[in-house]
A = this chain, B = another copy of it.
Amino acid sequence: MNASRTARERVRAELVREITDIARVQLASEGASGLSLRAVAREMGMVSSAVHRYFPTKDDLLTALIVDGYNSVGAAVEDADAAGPPDDFGARWLIVCHAVRNWALARPHEYALIYGSPVPGYRAPEDTIGPASRATTVYGRILGDAHRAGRLSPPDICPPVPPILSTDAEIIRSLMPGVSDDVITRAITAWTGLYGMISFELFGQFNNVVTHRAELFDHNMRGLARFLGLPD
């Protein structure tokens, strides 16, 4: 009886997977707003109303793609960091930066879906916040490890952190215990700088301006590493 129920649920899970796979292909070629439930159904030899039984609304399908996207980039970042030298914190930061960029360049539409402008009318459900933090957790671990090893010494160039930011810092400190508020705000700068640079490249802001994008990215991430206080 248990097996029979799982039998039906298994085919359902299989269908869900197939739908998201086809939707991801369409996302890659058409973009988020060009995604069509009817086209997905057509591709599967289904009728459009049948797809609605698995994803009641288009937003639900988008949510599944967003969660998958966060998990995909999160896994890429985790794998990259795991394959790197555990004690070379500057290298780990660089490796992770390049992992995000390479992931984004390979799946520009998926990157746009999760880090670009939100789809209008779409409200991100809570299912996304867990997978969304996977990549961030890795950055935090790198900085936390560097701090614990006594190898995090940011240059003394920043103004003191306003006390009002301490409550926000407390949340982020759970990712990298023991670091100062100063390091936390620098981490946010580096982290937004990383995604800002990728977004500029992917969204066309570098057109007619920057041609050697990989080299510029690498160099600027090295600069941010120094700003963070990571060793060479």
Contacts and interface: CB of A to CB of B under 8 A. Distances in A.
Interface of A: 30-34, 109, 112-113, 115-121, 124, 129, 132, 155, 157-159, 161-162, 164-165, 167-168, 171-172, 185-186, 188-189, 192-197, 199-200, 203-205, 207-212, 215-216, 219-220, 222-224, 226-227, 232
A120 B33 contact: yes
> Which of A121, A171, A204, A222 has the most C-beta atoms of chain B within 10 angstroms of its own C-beta?
A204
A185 B216 contact: yes
B226 A157 contact: yes
Contact of A168 (B32, B158, B195, B209): B209
Please give the count of copies of this chain that the complex contains.
2
Nearest to A32: B120
Contact of A226 (B113, B158, B185, B194): B158
A21 to B, nearest CB: 19
A165 B203 contact: no
Given A120-B31, A215-B164, A199 B195 contact: yes
A149 to B, nearest CB: 20
Contact of A30 (B120, B199, B204): B120
Contacts of A205: 115, 132, 195
Contact of A33 (B33, B215, B222, B227): B33
A83 B132 CA distance: 41
Nearest to A202: B117
Determine which residue in A117, A159, A186 has the highest number of CB atoms from chain B within 10 A of its CB, and name it.
Answer: A117
Nearest to A221: B189
